Amino acid sequence: MRTQSATSFTSLSPVGRAYPRALKSFYIPFVRRLVRSLAPPQETSLSPVGRSRQVGRALKSFHIPFVRRLVRSLAPPYGTSFSAVVRFLCLTAAILFFVAGASQGFAADLKLEAQLIWGTNDPKSPDAGHKPAEPEVRKKLKSLPFKWENYFEVNRLQFAVPKDGARRIAMSKECEILVKNLGNSAVEVSVFGKGERVGKITQALPKGELLVTGGNAPNFTAWFVVLRQTD
């Protein structure tokens, strides 16, 4: 019986040593491929939104095949001792936890679009670069207790805000916004005019809804910042 026990232990020793070999053979090539996929082409600049989408696609294309191959390579053979099975299960759980955490980290970025809108009763804007606000924005503004007849789009910008992070965006020479991602599609928006904060609003911003804040402008006009989520 002792001889059988010693033989069994010796045959299982390579199984225990297989874990670091499997990690080395799969993880290092995985990291190299992931880094190459994330490297932008020469003379190419990506916006934060485009960069986040690229990272998400790379994680999706590499994480799933990597985990499948790694789990198959680490699976202990039939007849392996109970302790080796427990080590295998713990290692697999740790890998899955890492993958889930990394995916959630990139998914937490809130992708937003901000529009600077000018409200007036004049039929046309004196700036030829302004264009009429899109129907969805006009409908939202006219549903609020504002007195303006016409709304024109001055500027439009897209950006991403990481969870628990903030981005300061210049909408014009005199207007800036500071957007904080509070999580669960909630944001805090501070509006700055000529460097001074003129307003702050905290609101849930699910997809399909608009956040509107603004103030008065000279010559009986007004300006508004309209914020919404993008895909």
Q: Is the domain of 115 the same as that of 197?
A: yes
Q: Give every CB contact of residue 106 below 8 A, 6+ residues apart in sequence.
A: 52, 55, 56, 59
Q: Is the domain of 53 the same as that of 103?
A: yes
Q: Is the domain of 17 the same as that of 92?
A: yes
Report yes or no: 150 and 123 within 8 Å, Cβ to Cβ.
yes
Q: Is the domain of 59 the same as that of 45?
A: yes
- Residue 118: exposure state from Cβ atoms within 10 A (0-12, 13-18, ≥19): buried
Q: Which of 88, 107, 126 is the last residue of a domain?
A: 107
Q: Is the domain of 45 the same as that of 133?
A: no
Q: Is the domain of 144 the same as that of 188?
A: yes
Q: Is the domain of 33 the same as that of 49?
A: yes
Q: Is the domain of 120 the same as that of 16?
A: no
Q: Is the domain of 117 the same as that of 162?
A: yes
Question: How do the pLDDT tens digits run along the chain, 231 residues long?
Answer: 444 444 443 444 454 455 555 555 655 666 666 666 555 555 445 555 555 566 566 555 655 666 666 656 655 565 556 566 566 666 666 666 665 555 454 557 999 999 999 999 999 988 988 999 999 999 999 999 888 999 999 999 999 999 999 999 999 999 999 999 999 999 999 999 989 999 999 999 999 999 999 887 777 789 999 999 997
Q: Is the domain of 143 the same as that of 84?
A: no
Q: Is the domain of 221 the same as that of 119?
A: yes
CB atoms within 10 A of CB 52: 19
Report yes or no: 201 and 188 within 8 Å, Cβ to Cβ.
yes
- Give the closest residue to 172 by CA, choosing from 191, 152, 154: 154
Q: Which of 107, 140, 172 is the last residue of a domain?
A: 107
Q: Is the domain of 147 the same as that of 67?
A: no
Q: Which domain holds residue 24?
A: 2-107
Q: Which of 107, 138, 172 is the last residue of a domain?
A: 107
The total number of structural domains that make up the chain: 2
Does the global pTM surpass 0.85? no
